Amino acid sequence: MIELIKQPWHWAIAGIMIGLTVPTLLILGNKTFGISSSLRHICAACIPANLSYFKYDWKREAWNLFFVFGVLLGGVIASQFLSNPNEIVISENTISDLKALGITSFSDLMPADIFSVENIFTAKGLFFFVFGGLLVGFGTRYAGGCTSGHAIMGLSNLQLPSLIATISFMVGGFIMTHLFMPFIFKLF
């Protein structure tokens, strides 16, 4: 059984399992799925601030914190005990596109030229980790949720704002990848 779990699965299986999360949460208590809201719950529980944004009954949403903890724990278990021992295969087209941007080394599907411990305290690290993180945080708050919340939960509930947010995430990703990333990599 463990060997079956360790093998790569077709992407549709994960899609179906994620898709089944939505009706399960709705049936179990009319709960909505979203990861970014857990940060708000943690701040409301731990930081005694007098901000109206954090003044709500966060204990009603404590299930979300357990859900996020389960996601993290599942990731740790999978990476430590269920990882596929075979080398990860990356498309030759992807490798050549990344090399054209100056990314030449990879570590577990992550471009090591960007995401490495050595880069944390460099200008490149400051830009990608700090500035990029601030942009992601701002975008998540401005859009009223993260990509998973809008694309998985919002679209399945036929919410127009989630459709607009998901389209915006995708368009922004394409623009960033094809127009801005080549320019940014030339700077660093």
Q: In this model, does residue 149 exceed pLDDT 70?
A: yes
Task: Kindly report each contact of residues 143-146 with a partner whose C-beta sits within 8 Å and lies 24 or more positions away, as own/partner.
Answer: 143/168, 143/169, 145/34, 145/36, 145/37, 146/34, 146/35, 146/36
For residue 109, the model assigns a pLDDT of: 67
Give the whole-angstrom CA distance, residue 188 versus residue 182.
10
Residue corresponding to tokens 């999978």:
78
Residue corresponding to tokens 């979203």:
34
Other C-beta atoms lying within 10 Å of the C-beta of residue 23: 10
Give the whole-angstrom CA distance, residue 178 versus residue 102.
14
What is the pTM (predicted TM-score) of this model? Answer: 0.72
For residue 108, the model assigns a pLDDT of: 65
Q: In this model, does residue 171 exceed pLDDT 90?
A: yes
- Any domain includes 161: yes
Boundary of a domain, candidates 86, 112, 136: 86
| Angle formed at CA 146 by CA 151 and CA 172, multiple of 5 degrees | 80
Do 5 and 76 lie in one domain? The reply is yes
Q: 21-78, pLDDT tens digit by residue?
A: 888 888 888 887 778 888 888 888 888 778 888 888 888 888 888 988 998 999 898 8
Q: How confident is residue 148, by pLDDT bands cut at 50, 70 and 90?
A: confident
Q: 80-102, pLDDT tens digit by residue?
A: 888 777 777 788 898 888 888 77
Domain ranges, residue 63: 1-86
- Any domain includes 113: no
